[in-house]
Amino acid sequence: MSNFTVAIIPARGGSVGVPRKNIRELGGKPLLHWAIEAAQQAQCVDAVCVTTDDAEIADVARAGGADVIERPQELATSTATMEDTLIHALDAIEAKDRAPTRMAIPHCTSPFTLPEDIDGTLKLLDEGYDSAMTAADFQRWLWVQDDHGEWRGVNHDGRSRSMRQERPQEVLECSAVYAMKCDAFRRDRYRFCGRMGVYRVPIWRALEIDEPDDWRMAEAMIGPFKQLSDGR
């Protein structure tokens, strides 16, 4: 059976950190359209869907050429899981089309995603992985404050710290793209199902817009990104 691959873009209406960010204009178009266009241009994607609870977001998604899956309110709260949302989306797609074998989940909060990032993450599923995610190489020092107010190293020992070059390679998960085999995802109901692979993206393109400062950084970076994507 040949692959039928869907890109499912989650876009609920109730964003808190940056209100209405999914349809707010960035670089001359709604934030949501950056994710839709990257998925449309990916060679491995057969259909692009947006799952949303919001009528205005649905209209913006349709204007960008995506199909819309109407998400019930109970799956649009801040406590609803992504996994339940994806199960609902897969059921809706199967009800009107053939069952997807693979899915990619590009997030519209990551506007610096290229079509080849979606393709590269999906292609890991052809290399023996059941799921995959985008991530960036990470060699920064992390600290956390404990219950007593003391700061302690998370990924290092502050009392005897090795050189950065000697540390094991770490990666920073970014929500630009997740990919899963649908049967493995339905079995485990978990986005990191089975054997998981990592598709690396540069750290500057791993920006996720969750807070106002993220939006300001995205505005500063969108011009260079447009030049990069236009010149590919």
Q: Write the pLDDT tens digit of every residue in 56-108.
A: 999 999 999 999 999 988 887 777 888 999 999 999 999 987 899 999 999 99
Residue whose tokens read 């649908």: 182
Q: Which helix (H) or strand (E) holds 119?
A: helix 115-123
First to last CA, the chain: 33
* Lowest-confidence region among 20-24, 105-109, 193-197, 223-227: 223-227
33 pLDDT higher than 90: yes
pLDDT at residue 164 in the model: 66
Q: Write the pLDDT tens digit of every residue in 148-182.
A: 999 988 888 777 777 766 777 889 999 899 999 99
Mean pLDDT of the chain: 91
1 pLDDT higher than 70: no
Sequence-separated (6 or more) residues with CB below 8 Å from residue 55: none
pLDDT at residue 232 in the model: 65
User: Is residue 92 within 8 Å of residue 114, measured between CB atoms?
Assistant: no
pTM over cut 0.85? yes
The Cα-based distances of 163 to 139, 160, 180, 203 in angstroms read 10, 10, 36, 21
Instruction: Among 3.10.20.30, 3.40.50.10490, 3.40.250.10, 3.90.550.10, name the CATH number for the domain at 5-135+172-230.
Output: 3.90.550.10
User: Is residue 158 within 8 Å of residue 196, measured between CB atoms?
Assistant: no
**Cα(118)–Cα(133) distance, integer angstroms:** 10
Q: Which helix (H) or strand (E) holds 8?
A: strand 5-10
Closest CA to 7 of 34, 25, 27: 34
Q: Any idea where the domains of the chain sit in the sequence? A: 5-135+172-230
CA angle 138, 144, 150 (to 5 degrees): 145
